[in-house]
């Protein structure tokens, strides 16, 4: 019995760890989509964040500067997207795709000589000695710093949309940019800021991968997490609380193969590796069966370029 509890505790711990990058990217993308902008470039921004964070930490030996640089890189990438999609009004789907393809190439290019280099990443911290609490101790109090940061960001975004005035402005801009402009709200600036927040979060998620989750750099190491996060936003019907739930649910999906192997079954790791992607499709199907629900929650101007009226 004692052993089982231990296993459960480890499972919950790993679930949160694996769900953290998804949570960060999905929170960023949700803010971005709430302002009416669909940025499919998450995967590219994440990889750029991962490589920038890794190289900086490797060169300076300071993980925090690495994280900062990763977020800055995410923001820079998002500005590239913003310039083409918001200022030049190009098709958001195509621009996002371009950002992903570009990010995959550029990150691999920059990081070529860093593949396989060792680094000492973020270590788990035992908060107030509570990590030995049965079952939930390790999950809540035995994580590394970036996981705690993700908790704080989650609460911040929750507060932002629930109680703050800027949160209301973002929603107004996403629902009806023309009405928002008519009452004097800065539509373009709001969208830029939302896109930049998305970039910062994707960069942070990238840094989490290369500095905490698996402290190393490998080409394409985000392995589709940026895309899963996009599905997650739909899954959560653009609601902050459900993003958290969804991220950890998908985190659990991705470590299922460890559980199955731990239970003594012999299944090919490649087949089990498909689980998160299959789960994403299944979830998407269930959600899209009810189009009314999606229409009800999705920001009305999502993906549509905004032309200023004069």
Contact set with another protein (CB under 8 A)? 40, 80, 84, 88-91, 93-95, 97-99, 101-106, 108-109, 112-113, 186, 219, 223-224, 227, 230-231, 234, 268, 270-271, 273-274, 277-278, 280-281, 284-285, 288-289, 291, 307
Nearer to another protein, 95 or 301 (CB): 95
Q: Nearest Cα to 15, choosing from 213, 231, 158, 157? A: 213
Nearer to another protein by Cβ, of 8 and 256: the residue is 256
Min dist CB 88 to another protein, Å, is: 4
| Token pair in block for residue 138 | 């390790």
Contact between 39 and 29 under an 8 Å Cβ cutoff? The reply is yes
For residue 115, what are the CA distances in angstroms to 54, 66, 167, 221?
A: 10, 17, 40, 11
Cβ-based nearer residue to another protein, 138 or 191: 191
Contact 48, 107 (CB under 8 A): yes
Closer to another protein at the Cβ: 142 or 177? 177
Minimum CB–partner distance for residue 108 and another protein (Å): 3
Q: Rounded to whole angstroms, how far apart are CA atoms 282 and 235? A: 11
CB of 289 to another protein, least distance (A): 5
Which CB atom, from 152 or from 291, has the smaller least distance to another protein? 291
**Whole-angstrom distance, CA of residue 307 vs CA of residue 113:** 44
- In the bound state with another protein, the residue whose beta carbon lies nearer, of 106 and 259, is 106
Cβ proximity of 51 and 199 under 8 Å? no
Least Å distance between CB 195 and another protein?
Answer: 16
Instruction: Give helix then strand counts, H and E, for the chain.
Output: 15, 0
Provide the phi-psi class of 115: left if phi over 0, else alpha when psi is between -120 and 50, else beta: beta
For residue 113, the minimal CB distance to another protein (Å) is 8
**Left, alpha or beta for 126 (phi > 0: left; psi -120 to 50: alpha)?**
beta
Q: Residue 57 Cβ, how far from another protein at the closest point, in Å?
A: 21
């Amino acid at each position: 019995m004692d052993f089982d509890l231990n296993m459960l505790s480890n499972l919950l711990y790993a679930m949160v760890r694996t769900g953290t990058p998804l949570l960060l990217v999905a929170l960023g993308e949700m803010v971005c989509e709430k302002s009416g902008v669909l940025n499919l470039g998450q995967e590219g921004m994440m990889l750029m964040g991962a490589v920038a964070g890794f190289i900086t930490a490797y060169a300076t030996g300071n993980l925090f500067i690495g994280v900062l640089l990763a977020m800055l890189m995410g923001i820079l990438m998002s500005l590239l997207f913003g310039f083409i999609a918001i200022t030049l009004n190009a098709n958001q789907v195509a621009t996002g795709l371009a950002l992903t393809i570009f990010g995959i190439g550029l990150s691999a290019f920059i990081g070529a000589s860093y593949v396989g280099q060792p680094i000492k990443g973020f270590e788990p911290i035992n908060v107030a000695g509570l990590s030995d609490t049965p079952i939930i101790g390790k999950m809540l109090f035995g994580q590394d710093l970036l996981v705690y940061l993700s908790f704080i960001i989650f609460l911040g975004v929750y507060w932002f949309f629930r109680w703050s005035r800027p949160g209301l402005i973002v929603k107004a801009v996403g629902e009806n940019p023309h009405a928002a402009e008519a009452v004097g709200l800065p539509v373009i600036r709001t969208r830029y800021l939302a896109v930049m927040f998305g970039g910062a979060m994707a960069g942070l998620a990238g840094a989490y991968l290369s500095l905490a989750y698996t402290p190393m750099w490998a080409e394409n190491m985000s392995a589709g997490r940026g895309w899963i996060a996009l599905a997650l936003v739909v899954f959560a019907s653009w609601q902050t609380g459900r993003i958290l739930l969804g991220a950890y649910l998908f985190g659990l999906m991705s470590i299922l193969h460890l559980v199955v192997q731990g239970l003594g079954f012999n299944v090919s790791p490649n087949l089990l590796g498909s689980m998160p992607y299959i789960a994403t499709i299944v979830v998407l199907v269930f959600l899209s069966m009810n189009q009314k629900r999606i229409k009800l929650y999705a920001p009305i101007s999502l993906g549509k370029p905004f032309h200023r009226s004069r």
